[in-house]
């Protein structure tokens, strides 16, 4: 084998779809190889001398240990605590930072500090220590450091103390840690620009465990377990497996292609070991499941079995940096198994540079990741489209090389590895978070350009590893828009009832509202306006990982659709076939139930699956509004979602053959003026020609009178006015398009 310091020819990196990219071993890796050989030589020459010195120092070390034990028994002065990090190793400091605070900082009102101090001592405080001294104009005048009794909760104590007479505010005395920056050479010299791009240092400050205790499964070509970056205890799981041969163990999952080792370096290369690079989650445990051969190829059966093994081996995060253009029912079953057991599944979007979805990235519930370069522009090779969730660095990123050393690698595979590492950081700090909450936190807190929440080239934005962690400390949130039949309503009121009582906020000029810093729990949210009756409240359970950033609150009004929110099941609606549509909590937009046509898990037979009702259209400014999510694994031009309103004057059709973004609701409004005062048929339908999973989530269907004249969207590719059919020959086929098989 070529020594680490010798020049190496260009290497090929393969990603999803088999695309190959030349990758060269960097100058940094050759220098590291020379340094590694020098360290080995120096160590062998100095072994004997080191042993002699250790024998001479043994008595001194014993004496120091006894002295340290005696000092530990010396009591500290009353009212004081030991320095938070004194004498603690790095792991112990991480655990200490996670410990709940045992003190509260109370700010007394002007002139009331003495009385508040006496009252707190009388209530049994362990100690009360003024921080600002006696001077009235001191910077921290009136601030008291209050020690709690053992077992008291600092958050609850702060809320109770804030209600005492003379107290302006109270907050827990939270612990902070020194900002940590790894000393690895590639990180220090800026070669790992990708970590700066995703705010790694800020994330590490918020995640002292740095991924510890979280197993990340790499279903790939294996991992080179002999690399110096994976020598730390717990870096590699003994449950690793070669799914190609069925053999268990790290040796069986040895990397013979290099792709898996490159992923592993991005996820969990050792940090602060004075060598090479640092991983984004440097204390995570990697589970190597070899499902691809040395050339980066594998089949659905092997990959599906590898996913199942990863789940059964305790993986909380699964990385699938592989893909192909055709839907697979077997692979889908394995992904569904992982999602049902609360694993975060991250997949590369593909290296074709096109909008064609690849599988498994396009499966519902999988977080598909595209690549950006060091300038945060979408890489030319990075696939995009409706299945895209996030983007992350994936062009020329420094990582580990199989056989030793380091190299630069390019592909959406490596972008997916960054996102998987960010998920591991989050799960290490909050092990009880569900997989859905982790994905929601990563997408809701991504770095966006402009005001759009999602776009087809960047998904929900660039990965930001720190913001989801910050949301854990800042509390949950509810954000959204107040709407009526004509769209957003400026200045509306939003009433929120939750664990901390009731509060009212006002929407801004664009109808947007936001409540941040909420404790987790069940919230009831209602939009109110002087000229509209209050509708039924929307109820949402927010988790510690974040909350809801796309909540839409409708103002009350006369809705001509008898059961447009589906809270009573499918009353007043007629399905075209048995089980064509079912009420489902997973389809809820602003209530507890919505209607789902089709299914994400089973292929929908070719034909139509429809849900229809009869509606009397209002006379004045009639509007049709509805919220929907449409997904198909083979959309335009084969499978589509259609809405038809038909009456005496003809029909109006809303048609979409494009999948909506993952998890994102679309709200559509149509002008029904041609049907004013008429009883019409309202039909929502899925039209399929290719038998793949296709489904529609539908909720908040309203037909009501608008309050003002507004400019409706002009008919275009999604909205079409069709000519009225002859009266004697009126039928569906006269106004609904027929989609031919390819």
Residue (of 602, 596, 599, 594) closest to 581 by Cα position = 596
Of the listed ranges 126-135, 406-415, 728-737, the least confidently predicted one is 728-737
Q: Which residue has the higher pLDDT, 446 or 543?
A: 446
Summarize the confidence of residues 48-77 as an average pLDDT: 39
User: Would the pLDDT of 737 be above 50?
Assistant: no
Confidence at residue 455, expressed as pLDDT on a 0 to 100 scale: 85
Identify whether the C-beta of residue 667 lies closer than 8 Å to the C-beta of residue 392: no
Q: What is the pLDDT of residues 219-259, one digit of tens each?
A: 999 999 999 999 999 999 999 999 999 999 999 999 999 99
**Chain-wide mean pLDDT for the chain?**
79
Kindly indicate the confidence band of residue 308, based on its pLDDT and cuts at 50, 70 and 90. very high
Q: Which residues contact 338 (CB under 8 A, 6 or more apart)?
A: 307, 308, 310, 311, 318, 345
Angle at 69 between CA 68 and CA 72, to 5 degrees: 85
User: Active site residue: 224, 237, 259, 332, which one?
Assistant: 259
Confidence at residue 482, expressed as pLDDT on a 0 to 100 scale: 84
User: Active site residue: 29, 197, 349, 413, which one?
Assistant: 413
Confidence at residue 671, expressed as pLDDT on a 0 to 100 scale: 83
Q: What is the pLDDT of residues 4-41, one digit of tens each?
A: 332 333 344 445 444 444 444 443 343 344 344 333 33
Query: What percentage of residues in the chain have a pLDDT greater than 70?
Result: 76
User: Would the pLDDT of 405 be above 60?
Assistant: yes
Summarize the confidence of residues 648-676 as an average pLDDT: 81
User: Would the pLDDT of 113 be above 50?
Assistant: yes
User: Would the pLDDT of 700 be above 70?
Assistant: yes
User: Active site residue: 26, 184, 205, 220, which one?
Assistant: 220
197 is catalytic: no
**Distance (Å, rounded) from C-alpha 153 to C-alpha 139?**
28
Q: What is the pLDDT of residues 255-289, one digit of tens each?
A: 999 999 999 999 999 998 989 999 999 999 999 99
Q: Which residue has the higher pLDDT, 458 or 356?
A: 458
Summarize the confidence of residues 66-84 as an average pLDDT: 35
User: Would the pLDDT of 63 be above 50?
Assistant: no
Confidence at residue 88, expressed as pLDDT on a 0 to 100 scale: 28
Report pTM.
0.71
Q: What is the pLDDT of residues 176-201, one digit of tens each?
A: 655 567 888 888 888 999 999 999 99
Other C-beta atoms closer than 10 Å to the C-beta of 3 total 10
Kindly indicate the confidence band of residue 315, based on its pLDDT and cuts at 50, 70 and 90. very high
Summary count for the chain: helices (H), strands (E): 15, 35
**Distance (Å, rounded) from C-alpha 430 to C-alpha 425?**
9
Summarize the confidence of residues 320-334 as an average pLDDT: 91
User: Would the pLDDT of 131 be above 90?
Assistant: no
293 is catalytic: no
Other C-beta atoms closer than 10 Å to the C-beta of 598 total 25
User: Would the pLDDT of 140 be above 50?
Assistant: yes
Summarize the confidence of residues 639-660 as an average pLDDT: 83
Q: What is the pLDDT of residues 504-539, one digit of tens each?
A: 888 887 788 888 778 888 888 888 877 666 666 777
259 is catalytic: yes
Angle at 575 between CA 570 and CA 580, to 5 degrees: 100
User: Would the pLDDT of 723 be above 70?
Assistant: no
Q: Please provide the DSSP assignment of 127-139 as one string.
A: EEEESS-S-TTST
**Distance (Å, rounded) from C-alpha 445 to C-alpha 453?**
11
How, if at all, do strands 367-372 and 317-320 pair? unpaired
């Amino acid at each position: 084998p070529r020594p680490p310091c010798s020049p190496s020819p260009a290497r090929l990196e393969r990603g999803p779809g088999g695309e190959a990219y030349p990758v060269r071993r960097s100058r940094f890796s050759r220098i590291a190889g020379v340094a590694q050989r020098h360290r080995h030589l120096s160590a062998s020459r100095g072994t004997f001398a080191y042993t002699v010195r250790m024998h001479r120092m043994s008595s001194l070390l014993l004496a120091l240990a006894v002295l340290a034990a005696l000092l530990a028994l010396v009591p500290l002065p009353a009212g004081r605590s030991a320095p938070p990090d004194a004498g603690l190793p790095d792991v112990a400091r991480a655990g200490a930072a996670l410990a709940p605070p045992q003190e509260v900082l109370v700010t007394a009102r002007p002139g009331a500090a003495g009385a508040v101090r006496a009252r707190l001592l009388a209530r049994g405080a362990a100690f009360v220590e003024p921080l600002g001294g006696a001077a009235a104009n001191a910077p921290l005048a009136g601030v008291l450091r209050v020690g709690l009794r053992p077992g008291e909760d600092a958050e609850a104590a702060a809320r109770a103390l804030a209600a005492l007479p003379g107290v302006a505010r109270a907050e827990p005395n939270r612990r902070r840690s020194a900002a940590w920056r790894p000393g690895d050479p590639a990180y220090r010299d800026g070669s790992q620009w990708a970590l700066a791009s995703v705010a790694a240092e800020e994330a590490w400050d918020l995640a002292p465990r740095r991924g510890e205790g979280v197993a990340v499964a790499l279903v790939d070509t294996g991992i080179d377990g002999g690399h110096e970056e994976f020598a730390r205890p717990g870096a590699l799981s003994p449950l690793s497996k070669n799914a190609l041969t069925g053999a268990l163990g790290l040796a069986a999952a040895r990397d013979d292609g290099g792709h898996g080792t490159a992923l592993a370096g991005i996820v969990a290369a050792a940090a602060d070991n004075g060598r090479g690079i640092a991983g984004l989650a440097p204390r995570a445990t990697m589970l190597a499941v070899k499902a691809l051969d040395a050339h980066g190829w594998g089949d659905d059966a092997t990959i599906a079995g590898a996913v199942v093994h990863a789940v059964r081996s305790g993986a909380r995060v699964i990385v699938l940096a592989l893909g192909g253009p055709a839907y697979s029912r077997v692979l889908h079953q394995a992904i569904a198994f992982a999602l049902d057991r609360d694993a975060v599944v991250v997949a590369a979007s593909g290296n074709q540079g096109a909008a064609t979805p690849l599988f498994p990235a396009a499966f519902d519930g999988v977080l598909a990741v595209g690549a950006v370069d060091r300038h945060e522009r979408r890489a030319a090779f990075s696939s995009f489209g409706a299945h895209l969730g996030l983007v992350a660095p994936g062009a020329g990123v420094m990582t580990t090389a199989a056989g030793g050393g380091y190299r630069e690698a390019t592909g959406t595979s490596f972008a997916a590895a960054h996102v998987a590492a960010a998920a591991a950081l989050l799960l290490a700090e909050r092990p009880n978070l569900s997989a859905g909450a982790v994905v929601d936190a990563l997408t809701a807190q991504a770095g966006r350009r402009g005001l759009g929440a999602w776009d087809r080239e960047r998904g929900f934005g660039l990965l930001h590893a720190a913001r989801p962690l910050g949301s854990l400390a800042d509390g949950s949130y509810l954000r959204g828009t107040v709407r009526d039949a004509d769209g957003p309503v400026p200045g509306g009121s939003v009433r929120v009832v939750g664990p901390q009582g009731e509060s009212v906020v006002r929407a801004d000029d664009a109808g947007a509202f936001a409540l941040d810093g909420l404790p987790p729990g069940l919230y009831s949210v209602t939009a109110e306006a002087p000229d509209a009756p209050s509708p039924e409240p929307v109820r949402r359970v927010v988790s510690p990982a974040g909350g809801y950033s796309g909540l839409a609150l409708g103002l009350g009004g006369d809705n001509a659709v008898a059961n447009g929110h589906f809270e009573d099941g499918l009353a007043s609606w007629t399905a075209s076939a048995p089980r064509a549509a079912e009420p489902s909590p997973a389809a809820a937009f602003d209530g507890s139930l919505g209607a789902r046509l089709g299914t994400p898990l089973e292929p929908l037979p070719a034909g139509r699956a429809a849900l229809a009702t009869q509606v009397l259209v209002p006379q004045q400014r009639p509007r049709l509004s509805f919220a929907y999510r449409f997904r198909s694994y083979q959309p335009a031009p084969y499978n589509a979602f259609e809405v038809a309103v038909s009456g005496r004057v003809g029909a109006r059709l809303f048609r979409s053959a494009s999948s909506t973004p993952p998890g994102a609701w679309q709200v559509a409004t149509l002008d029904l003026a041609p049907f004013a005062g008429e009883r019409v048929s309202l039909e929502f339908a899925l039209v399929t020609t290719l038998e793949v999973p296709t489904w529609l989530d539908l909720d908040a269907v309203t037909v009501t009178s608008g309050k003002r004249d507004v400019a409706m969207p002009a008919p275009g590719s999604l909205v079409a006015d069709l000519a009225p059919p002859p009266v004697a020959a009126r039928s569906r086929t006269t106004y609904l398009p027929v989609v031919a098989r390819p």
